[in-house]
Structure 1
Amino acid sequence: MTAPFEIFLSSAPGLEDVLREEAVANGFAHAVVVPGGVTFKGHWTTVWRANLVMRGAGRVLARIGSFPAYHLAELDKKARAFPWGETLRADVPLRVEVTASQRSKIYHAGAAQQRIETALVEEFGAVIDKTADLVLRARIEKDIVTFSIDTSGESLHKRGHKPAVGKAPMRETLAALFLRQCGYDGSQAVVDPMCGSGTFVLEAAEMAAGLMPGRSRRFAFEDLASFNADRWADMKAACPAPRSDLPQFQGSDRDPGAIRMSRGNAEAAGLGAAIDFQNVSVADLTPPEGAEPGIVMVNPPYGERIGNRKLLFSVHATLGTVLKTRFSGWRVGIVTSDPQLAQATGLSFLAPGAPVAHGGLRVKLYQTAALR
């Protein structure tokens, strides 16, 4: 595959425009918004770099080819003739996932999957394993069969350097996009008064330091025929050195266990000295000493985390009072599925963002202008 091919970055629906902004900022200038993510053209080195640098993408898929097929026999014939060796290695197990639209003459996904797997085994010598990390995705839409490789493997929110995860955590990919949606560019101080395992402040500090989100993990593309270990090593080595002149970052939580988790995660990410974690309640929250007004990002309890909802109204009211009295000039971003709890803060919000799927719920980002 020497010609450019389509690359798809997935995101939570509702955040595609924000993901496109990040893609353009990372040099993928021709990124176009599509449902569920963004697309652009590139080569295999583009795929590697997208996995390495993109914070908001959930996965990176490479579209490796397509053809029309109007019945299963035609699918079988064309799948057998497909140049699998340009992308896949016969010694690496893979699994096949098929989605088929009722608008296609081939609409039975299970039958299509069986034909594709048989073609891979008999013509290419592939090993099919339903538990394999490497995934070949086939989409059948309007009688066009499109093959894509999931080049990420595990979801990209798994950065590879976060040993501890709290209850009902905010995914790192979502946190990065919500920060960007709040206008965070790496130059502002960030405070999270209910930090849990530290996701918001860790993502903010990594962005400010210029650390690549994929620097610590392995990717599925390393098992493809197109992979070149030396070029990949060179790409990672060419990443700029982390910046040390960082703004201030502060995470706090009333749960001492959460603070221990956050500190351990910060150490694992190489940011132990960059973030101040404090075991304090919302009522005792104060801005970092000497910090210029920045952004307060918070993912308070809601949904299954909600506990006694009546008590949470009091907690949110306290949060709002503290922010209004002690955080003049700061902007606030609150992610919640419960608009009544957001309003309980007494803060004046701008129009909320689009609803975003998170943990089986639909959450929104509620933002303020600079507090006065």
Structure 2
Amino acid sequence: MTTHFDIFLAAPPGLEDVLADEAREAGFANPQAVSGGVTTSGDWPDVWRANLELRGAGRVLARIGSFRAFHLAQLDKRSRKFDWAAFLRPDVPVRVEVTCKESKIYHDRAARQRVETAIRETLGAPIESDAPVRILVRIEDDLVTISLDTSGEPLHRRGHKEAIGKAPMRETLASLFLRQCGYDGTETVVDPMCGSGTFLLEAAERAAGLLPGRSRSFAFEMLANYDADAWQNMRSAIPAGAEGPPRFFGSDRDDGAIRSSTANAKRAGVDALCEFRRAAVSDVMRPAGKTGLVMVNPPYGARIGNRKLLFALYGSFGQVMKDRFSGWRVGMITSDAGLAKSTGLPFKSGPPVSFGGLKVKLYQTGSL
């Protein structure tokens, strides 16, 4: 439990620096943004904590070993010498995924078969295509790197948002966008097109100190080195819910969206902090109290809505912000720069981020 190794935190391309900031704030060792995620180092409790605490990570991979292999016979021999029993249980099925890049071993399917056979014959663990434990083998420049996916189900599946609408935003992505807008858990947040409530749930959970992984299980619980008592001790301090008054306000013109967001907030234990009501964008009013953040993910016209008709929606949103939300900051996600411009708000755009097959950007303002 004291051996340190590399840990990889997966992030949407374009938001690696934001996740690195979160990991740094959470006390992980020297997090560095790289393509597709963040690298850090630690031991198994750090892996557990990353799964439990980091709101923006999509997966947590533990890099458990590496060796050189220049041909399949060498891969077979060194895979058989690898200490699989230190990590895997013989009674838990595993699946192996291999990628090859710029190496003498270029046939990923053949390489996967060698590794699978080594695990099955040396450890006895069954190989299944839908196994709960996933082994990732990357062969690049003849270096074989072995990682374990310690998360299992993607980390955006918190276990609370059962009711969703069209094109829902992933919780991990919403959390990173909130952080990119400077949200630190202390402000009021308003979402006038709240859908299933993702932005508000993420903001409210962070404000209440509710950890994102508190309600779910993880693949690392099925590994040989899993310490159930240590894990329960780590989880024991997690609060179960939050108390009001509300300071996270959502509205939507769709009754179904309001029912969904209300139910999701109750499952997440933040219903006392959140208030949802049916309203058109033009009817949204500024909450009483201090200024805060307006965060919105409107239709883009690419998958939902007619783009030509959306200019009026974006224009109305921008006018409401200028008329009623003086002093507030605005963050908006869209794939369409023309629609963003039609708000008339002084937006600055961030890098493109993949979302649902599209490239979206965060457009944000300073205080209006």
TM-score bracket relative to the smaller structure: over 0.9
Residue of structure 2 equivalent to 1:357: 354
**What secondary structure, in the 3-state scheme, does the structure 2 residue paired with 1:163 have?**
coil
For the residue of structure 2 that corresponds to 1:191, the secondary structure is strand
Once the two structures are TM-superposed, the CA of residue 246 in structure 1 deviates from its matched residue by: 6.7
Q: Tell me if structure 1 keeps the 8 A contact 2:334–2:362.
A: yes
Q: Which residue of the partner structure matches residue 236 of structure 1? A: 235
* Aligned equivalent of 1:50: 50
1:27/1:244 Cα in 2 relative to 1: closer, same or farther (>3 Å)? farther
Compared with structure 1, are the counterparts of its residues 205 and 317 closer, same or farther at alpha carbon in structure 2 (3 Å cutoff)? Answer: same
In the comparison of the two structures, how many residue pairs are matched? 368
In 1: Cα distance, 2:265 partner to 2:240 partner: 18
Q: What does the per-residue CA deviation read over 1:341-372, in whole Å, with 9 as the maximum and x for residues that have no partner?
A: 1111111112x11100000000000001111x
Q: Does 1:150 align with 2:143?
A: no
Per-residue CA distance 1:180-228 (angstroms, 9 max, x = gap)? 0000000110000100000000000001001000000000000000101
Aligned counterparts of 1:163 and 1:243: Cα–Cα separation in 2: 20
Contact 1:353-1:365 within 8 A present in 2 as well:
yes
CA distance in 2, matches of 1:165, 1:359: 15
Secondary structure at the counterpart of residue 305 of structure 1: coil
Q: 3-state DSSP class of the match of 1:31?
A: strand
Contact 1:166/1:197 (8 A) holds in 2: yes
Q: Distance in 1 between matches of 2:24 and 2:6?
A: 16
Deviation at 1:124, TM superposition (A): 1.1
Aligned to 1:22, what secondary structure does the other structure show?
helix
Partner of 2:169: 170
> Alpha-carbon deviation of 1:243?
6.0
User: What's the offset of the Cα at 1:272?
Assistant: 1.2
SS for the counterpart of 1:30 is strand
Q: What RMSD, in angstroms, separates the aligned Cα atoms of the two structures? A: 1.3
* CA 1:339–1:326: 2 relative to 1, 3 Å: same
CA distance in 1, matches of 2:150, 2:301: 33
Distance 2:162 2:366 in 1: 35
What percent identity do the matched residue pairs reach? 62
Deviation at 1:132? Answer: 1.1
**Contact 1:303–1:361 at 8 Å: present in 2 too?**
no
Cα deviation for residue 133 of structure 1 reads 2.0
Tell me whether 241-250 or 198-207 shows the greater mean CA deviation. Answer: 241-250
Q: Which residue of 2 aligns with 1:297?
A: 295
CA-to-partner distance for each residue in 1:166-193, whole Å, 9 max, x for gaps?
1101100000000000000001100001
- Relative to 1, partners in 2 of residues 1:146 and 1:303: Cα closer, same or farther, differing over 3 Å? farther
CA contact (8 A) 1:172 1:203 kept: yes
TM-score (norm 2): 0.98
1:18 aligned counterpart, secondary structure: helix
CA contact (8 A) 1:262 1:277 kept: yes
1:37 aligns with 2:37: yes
Which residue in the other structure is 2:317 paired with?
A: 319
CA contact (8 A) 1:9 1:57 kept: yes
Q: CA deviation at 1:239?
A: 3.6
* Structure 1 residues not aligned, in runs of 5+: none
- Per-residue displacement from partner, 1:252-277 (whole Å, max 9, x unpaired)? 00000000000000000111121010
Q: Residue 145 of structure 2 aligns to which amino acid in structure 1?
A: T
Change in CA separation of 1:19 and 1:286 when aligned onto 2, cut-off 3 Å: same
More moved, 187-196 vs 296-305: 296-305
Contact (CA 8 Å) 1:248, 1:291: kept in 2 or not?
Answer: no
CA distance in 2, matches of 1:358, 1:62: 25
1:35-184 correspondence runs (5 A):
35-101=35-101, 103-184=102-183
Q: Provide the TM-score with structure 1 as the length reference.
A: 0.97
**2:270 matches 1:263:** no
Preserved contact between residue 8 and residue 61 of structure 2 (Cα < 8 Å)? yes
Q: 5 Å matches for 1:204-223? A: 204-223=203-222
Is the CA contact 2:244–2:272 (under 8 Å) kept in the aligned structure 1?
no
The equivalent residue for 1:348 is 346
Query: 2:30 is paired with a residue of what secondary structure?
Result: coil
Offset at residue 140 of structure 1 (A) = 0.3
Specify the SS of the correspondent of 2:344: coil
Matching residue of 1:368: 365
- The equivalent residue for 1:252 is 251
Q: Deviations over 1:80-101 (max 9, x none)?
A: 1100000000100011000100
In 2: Cα distance, 1:139 partner to 1:167 partner: 35
Structure-2 separation of matches of 1:204 and 1:320: 22
Name the structure 2 match of 1:190. 189
Q: Deviations over 1:41-74 (max 9, x none)?
A: 1111110000000000000000010000000000
